[in-house]
A and B are shown apart, each in its own frame.
Chain A
Amino acid sequence: MQIFKTLGFCFVVIGGLAIVYASPAEKTSVPSDYFVRSMDAADAALKPSEAVTLSDWEFTARSRPATCRFVD
């Protein structure tokens, strides 16, 4: 009977340790706001509202290099 109590205790201890070490908070070594700051940097470079889609580009851009200044 004592053996079952010991094994049960070991399972509880090992299981608890496994849960603690497997948690993301324990595995991440970067600051908790890292991803937030990364998103801000990307957002500053290209706002979602200013994103250029292929259809927008085709609609707004006039391809007129200097070589095209004559009628052809």
Chain B
Amino acid sequence: MNLKTLILMSVIAVASMSAIQAETVTQIPGPFAPATYQTKQAALSQFDLGATGLNLQNFATTFENFTFASSGVVNSLSWIGQYEADSPAPVLGAGPNFQVNFYTSLGATAGSAIPVASYNIGTANQTLVGAPGPLAFYSYSTTGTPFNVVGGTSYFASIVAQLDYGVAGWGLAFSNIGTLGSVQDFGDVALTRFNDPINYAVNISAVPEPGSVAAILAVAGLVAVRRRRVAK
């Protein structure tokens, strides 16, 4: 194997590795530090299991937009949340169930967003982060929300606690990282859409689809074989 072949193989290997590597939209600072918006540190994002009558169950939903440079599949999601001050202290590991939805568009009016993928997940590894502010923060993560994304296309994700508001209120923490802009549909008996110049503390990772990885490796292999034959 001559030097030229070696260099070419190295370039192909590096290109393949970078293509296989996960791409992450990062909006959670490390180490975590709370962001403040209108004197608060989180926005309610909750489906009230105990609401009856005129009171809406889906009274609060936050949406965060994200875009990946390359096409792939979302393989992990993590976020930071907070319970309201008058809520009882949550039992670690027994937090609310969450619904994670992905959208290509939020619709024109509050409550009109229709998800293209929807997942019900458990306690999402609830872990106490600490209380750098007046209220404690908790971190959450899941790998159970696969979602195909196209590079350069903007999507939205919502993370909503499925929890009786009479038991506790839960919200998604704010973040100053990322392109400013988020949406919250909120209302007691009718929803109103709020566009806020703030982000939510959410990290979303995606890896290339298995088919794409296989194609890259196949091309790399063919090039390598051809180079070997030419060298002989």
Measuring CB to CB, which residues of chain A are less than 8 angstroms from any residue of chain B?
Answer: 60-66, 68-72
**Which of these, A61, A65, A66, A71, contacts B169 with CB under 8 Å?**
A71
Structural contact, B43 and A70, CB atoms closer than 8 A: yes
CB distance from A50 to the nearest CB of B (A): 11
Point out the residues of chain A lying under 8 angstroms from B135, CB to CB: 71
- Given A61-B55, A62-B51, A62-B165, are A71 and B43 neighbors across the interface (CB < 8 Å)? yes
Query: In the docked arrangement, what's the CA distance between A69 and B83, Å?
Result: 13
Q: Closest residue to A56 on the B side, CB-wise? A: B53
Q: Which residue of A lies closest to B55 (CB)?
A: A62
Judge whether A69 and B82 touch: CB under 8 Å: no
What's the least CB distance linking A52 to chain B, in Å?
Answer: 10
Contact for B53 among A60, A64, A71, A72, CB less than 8 A: A60
Q: Whose C-beta in chain A lies nearest to the C-beta of B174?
A: A70
Contacts of A70 in B (CB 8 A): 37-38, 40, 42-44, 171
Q: Which of B41, B165, B170, B186 contacts A69 (CB 8 A)?
A: B186
Evaluate contact between B44 and A66: CB separation under 8 angstroms: no
Cross-chain contact A63 with B40 (CB below 8 angstroms): no
Q: Which residues of A contact B41 (CB under 8 A)?
A: 71
B171 touches A71 (CB 8 A): yes
Would you give 24 A-B contacts (Cβ < 8 Å), ordered by A? A60-B52, A60-B53, A60-B55, A62-B51, A62-B188, A64-B59, A65-B188, A66-B192, A66-B194, A69-B43, A69-B44, A69-B194, A70-B37, A70-B42, A70-B171, A71-B40, A71-B41, A71-B42, A71-B44, A71-B82, A71-B135, A71-B171, A72-B40, A72-B85
Known contacts A66-B194, A71-B40; 6 additional CB pairs below 8 A are A60-B55, A69-B43, A70-B40, A70-B44, A71-B42, A72-B84
